Amino acid sequence: MSIFFTKTSIGYSHVIANKRCQDYSASYNDEERTIVTACDGHGGNVYIRSHLGAKFASCAVIDVLRDLERTAFYKNKKEVVAENIRLNILCRWNALVDAHMTKNPIRASEVADLTDVELISLKKTPVKAYGTTVNAAMIMGSKIITVSLGDGGCFLVKNGACISPFPEDDDEPVANITYSLCQDDAFLHLLVTVHETVNYDGAIVCTDGMINPFQNLTNFSSALVMPAMLNLYLGKSVKLEQFVMDVGAKLGTGDDVSLGIVMKKRLPIRTYSKAKEI
């Protein structure tokens, strides 16, 4: 069994602008597995339903990982398992989006403020309305599975240090541009990896609003990851929830924030006990 935590909080800039939260996080836990997600709808003019896109991304990942059987690793190499997960997540997300659009066609009131160029873009690719990132992790038996597309973070954790499970991407977008599930080539950018739990303490996922205030991965690891995992290990999840809310409400960049943690029940407590107060 694993210990887990998820929390989403609206950013103060969205509160001031009377804008709905674009982030969505969720968790799933049963006797075999624990899943956490952190998804960030883009929220720009064209992405008029991205708050729903983020929710559908979380649901898609949980549905696909929940249905994964341990026997898949006995029958196939982990690379094959990862490829199947990638394809199934994209198919599931697109199915959820299509079903919602069929029941709820885009209304004139939703696009009233769009420019002609934006309207043409949305008519050409209606799925853009739901554009979102996705980050997720699952512990299942002896495996840790990580899933990521777009900005934010998805990291393996070892002795309080964050380790990227993915190769560096020389073509990764910069500034406010990010990969999205709504892209035609989303399959090329959706990353899934499989690792052995024996090598790590767990995994952490977050949206960019959660990681950006810390400026770099070293600060993020020491100021958030180590104390967050220690608090969760000690059963102080309420304190952790309040911290996430504070980052959204006053401490961060003003963006929405989401955080998800999944970790083994046994940690090298001597290492984590050195963490500063969160």
Sort strands 134-140 and 143-149 into parallel, antiparallel or unpaired.
antiparallel
Residues 168-214 have pLDDT tens digits of: 765 555 445 799 999 999 999 999 999 999 999 999 999 999 999 99
Compute and round to an integer the Cα radius of gyration of the chain: 18
Distance (Å) of CA 63 to CA 36, 67, 85, 91, 261: 12, 6, 11, 11, 18
pTM: 0.95
Give residue 170's pLDDT: 55
Q: Which residues of the chain have pLDDT under 50?
A: 174-175
Residues 152-171 have pLDDT tens digits of: 999 999 999 999 999 876 55
Residues 256-272 have pLDDT tens digits of: 999 999 999 988 888 88
d(CA 88, CA 86): 6
Task: Name all domains of the chain by residue range, CATH numbers in brackets.
Answer: 2-272 (3.60.40.10)
